[in-house]
Each structure stands twice: as structure tokens, then as C-alpha cells.
């Protein structure tokens, strides 16, 4: 009887690394001892492997963190850690090994950044979660190097729940500190769901760039300059503020005098595609529009009262 019991336990735990056979309640404070036990076991199982994917990044006068997401050493981090494309940086792996790296692109809008290690590995890497898979009230945990790399201490773990998720930002109660920037937020499957970005002075105000920002703009981040708030001004301007919706982007407000208003776009219209490219994040729309020059014509597909409409519009200038 006893051996059967142990055998079962072993089987359950051995499959944990991929999926969890446990139903968690979808509220914040409602968790059982059993829930806590499952979360703890899952984190402890994943920790040794995931720690090897989280790195410390040395900049000239400070430190951030990052997480390796490909076998050949691509690291995702925060835009304010890499600061610009083509910067030489030093990355410290969890075992203390130092490797040089060069920054790629990213976006200051969502605070996403990338860098590539000057060594093709193979490296252990973390898997990125599928777009839209992280939900409010889910358990999560954060790894990073608060106050920079510390050999005696090691990587620091924080565990908590997702408190809010909106557009490119996830808020959790996993407390962060300077040096954590660019470190990874994981779900209980051990997939990256966010990158540490910013905090306030309140313990529950910890903000992470959601992985969706990277997934949606992967090629752009990899190949183009870092999108800064400054170089947005030079590009085209549509003039809508929107939020993510089921089909695309729901327009909340149209800027008076903008190209969008002239065209007759209204609040509650739902943007679907720009030049045939599906709009899954606000940032994607901003990036696509800013890549165009003022006056350039784009094709916009949108949904109004259940009817799909396709129009062409000349972009304006950002005021």
C-alpha cells in the first residue's frame, strides 16, 4: 500500500515541470493549504533549472537582470537596462561566468529590450508563455538580482499573484528592487510571462512588461533600433487611444483634428489590421504607425457594429 502511494506521488511530481493537475480558485485571497503546497513544490522543482536562465547585466554605472530565452543566447530584458541598440554589455550567468553581449532593440513604450550574448552556447533557456495565457489572480514568481549580482546570496526569489494586467503591463505583489530590472516573472509552469520593469514605494506596486509585448513585436525588436518616446515624434500619427480587446484594439478616444477623426473613426470601433498585419497589442499599432512617415497612406481594417470595414488613410503628424 505504502509503495503504491509513493509511486503515485512520484508520478505526479515528475509531470509537474510541464503542467499542473490542480485547480486554483480564481480570486486573490482564496487559497487552501493544498494550493500553497502545490505552488511550493512546483517552484522548488523549477527553481534549479530556471536559475540557470536568469542573468545579471552590468552596465557602465549600474546593474540589471535578464533571462535567456533561446539556445544560442538571446536575452530579454528591459528597455531601460539596454538603453540603446548596439551597446556592449557584460552579462553574469548564475554560476558567475561573465560573457560579453551586445544590445538589440526593444521599446520604451512597454520597457522591453533584448540583447545577444557573444557566444552561441548552447545555453539553458526559459520558455516564453503563449500570448494571453497569464491571467489576473494566477500564482507567479519572480527571479532577479536586486542590488546587482551577489555570489554569496545568489538569485533572489519572490512569489505572489498577478494583481492586474492591462495592455503591456502586469502588476504583481512580487516585490522588486533596483537591479531586478529585466529579470523574469514566471508562471507555475516555469514559462516567462513578464520582465521586471518598475515599482512605486508601496509593496504591492510592482510592474512587469508582459511577454506579449515581445511576442507581438519580436522581429522589430530583433532587427530595428530601440523605439524611444523621442523617435516616435518623427513618425506618422493616427490619433486614437485604445485598449486590447477580443478581436484587436478597441478605440476609446479619437484625438480631435487627427487623421483618425478626419477619416471618421469613432470610439467603440475595433481596429483589426493595419496593412494586413493583425493588431494584437497597442504597442504594435504604435510601432507600425511610427515606422511610416506623416502623409503616407495605410490600409486599416476595423469592426463597427459587427460589420467589417476596410479603408485607406493618410497619416498625420504627432503634435
φ and ψ at residue 161, rounded to 5 degrees: -130, 155
Residue 7 has which C-alpha cell?
509511486
CA distances from 185 to 50, 83, 157, 193, 206 (A): 11, 21, 10, 6, 11
CA 112, CA 109: separation in Å to the nearest integer? 8
Count CA atoms within 13 Å of residue 147 on its CB side. Answer: 7
252 burial class (0-12, 13-18, 19+ CB within 10 angstroms)? exposed
Secondary structure (3-state) at 147: coil
C-beta of 81 vs 285, nearer to other proteins = 81
Choice between 53 and 181, CB closer to other proteins = 181
Closest approach of other proteins to the CB of residue 308, in Å: 29
Q: How far is the CB of 179 from other proteins (least distance, A)?
A: 3
Q: Of 155 and 300, which has the nearer Cβ to other proteins?
A: 155
User: What is the closest distance, in whole angstroms, from the C-beta atom of residue 232 to other proteins in the complex?
Assistant: 14
Minimum distance between the CB of residue 164 and other proteins, rounded to whole angstroms?
4
> Which residues touch 69 (CB under 8 Å, ≥6 apart)?
53, 75, 76, 125, 126, 127, 128, 192
Of the two residues 199 and 263, which places its CB atom closer to other proteins in the complex? 199
CB 302, CB 291: distance < 8 Å: no
Query: Is 43 or 74 the residue whose CB approaches other proteins more closely?
Result: 43
Least distance (Å) from other proteins to the CB of residue 211? 17
Please state the closest distance from residue 150 (CB atom) to other proteins, in A.
Answer: 8
The binding site for other proteins (CB under 8 A) comprises 28-29, 33, 36, 39-40, 43-44, 47, 59, 61-64, 78, 80-81, 111, 141, 146-148, 152-161, 163-166, 169, 171, 173, 175-182, 196-205, 207
Query: What minimum distance in Å lies between the beta carbon of 212 and other proteins?
Result: 15
Pick between residue 105 and residue 146 the one whose CB is nearest to other proteins. 146
Instruction: Identify the H or E element spanning 157.
Output: strand 156-166
The burial class, CB within 10 Å (0-12 / 13-18 / 19+), for 285 is buried
Instruction: Report the candidate in 139, 146, 209 with the shortest Cα–Cα distance to residue 175.
Output: 146
Q: Which is nearer to other proteins, 255 or 298 (CB)?
A: 255
Residue tagged 511577454 (cell numbers): 211
Amino acid at each position: 500500500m505504502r509503495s503504491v502511494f509513493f509511486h503515485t506521488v512520484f508520478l505526479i511530481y515528475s509531470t509537474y515541470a510541464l503542467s499542473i493537475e490542480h485547480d486554483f480558485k480564481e480570486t486573490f485571497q482564496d487559497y487552501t493549504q493544498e494550493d500553497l503546497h502545490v505552488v511550493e513544490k512546483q517552484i522548488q522543482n523549477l527553481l534549479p533549472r530556471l536559475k540557470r536562465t536568469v542573468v545579471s547585466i552590468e552596465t557602465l554605472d549600474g546593474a540589471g537582470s535578464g533571462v535567456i530565452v533561446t539556445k544560442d543566447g538571446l536575452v530579454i530584458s528591459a528597455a531601460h537596462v539596454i538603453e540603446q541598440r548596439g551597446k556592449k554589455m557584460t552579462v553574469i550567468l548564475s554560476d558567475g561566468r561573465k560573457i560579453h553581449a551586445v544590445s538589440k532593440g526593444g521599446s520604451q513604450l512597454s520597457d522591453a529590450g533584448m540583447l545577444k550574448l557573444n557566444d552561441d552556447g548552447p545555453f539553458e533557456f526559459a520558455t516564453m508563455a503563449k500570448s494571453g495565457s497569464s491571467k489576473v489572480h494566477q500564482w507567479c514568481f519572480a527571479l532577479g538580482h536586486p542590488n546587482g549580482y551577489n555570489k554569496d546570496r545568489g538569485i533572489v526569489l519572490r512569489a505572489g499573484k498577478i494583481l492586474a494586467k492591462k495592455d503591456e503591463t502586469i502588476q504583481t505583489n512580487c516585490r522588486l528592487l533596483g537591479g531586478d530590472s529585466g529579470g523574469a516573472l514566471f508562471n507555475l509552469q516555469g514559462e516567462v510571462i513578464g520582465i521586471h520593469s518598475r515599482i512605486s514605494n508601496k509593496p504591492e506596486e510592482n510592474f512587469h512588461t508582459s511577454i506579449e509585448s515581445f511576442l507581438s513585436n519580436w522581429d522589430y525588436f530583433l532587427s530595428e533600433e530601440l523605439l524611444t518616446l523621442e523617435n516616435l515624434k518623427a513618425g506618422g500619427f493616427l490619433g486614437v487611444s485604445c485598449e486590447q480587446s477580443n478581436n484587436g484594439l478597441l478605440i476609446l478616444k479619437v484625438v480631435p483634428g487627427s487623421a483618425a477623426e478626419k477619416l471618421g473613426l469613432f470610439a467603440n470601433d475595433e481596429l483589426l489590421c493595419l496593412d494586413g498585419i493583425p493588431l494584437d497589442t497597442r504597442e504594435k499599432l504604435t510601432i507600425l504607425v511610427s515606422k511610416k512617415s506623416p502623409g503616407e497612406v495605410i490600409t486599416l481594417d476595423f469592426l463597427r457594429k459587427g460589420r467589417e470595414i476596410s479603408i485607406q488613410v493618410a497619416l498625420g503628424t504627432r503634435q
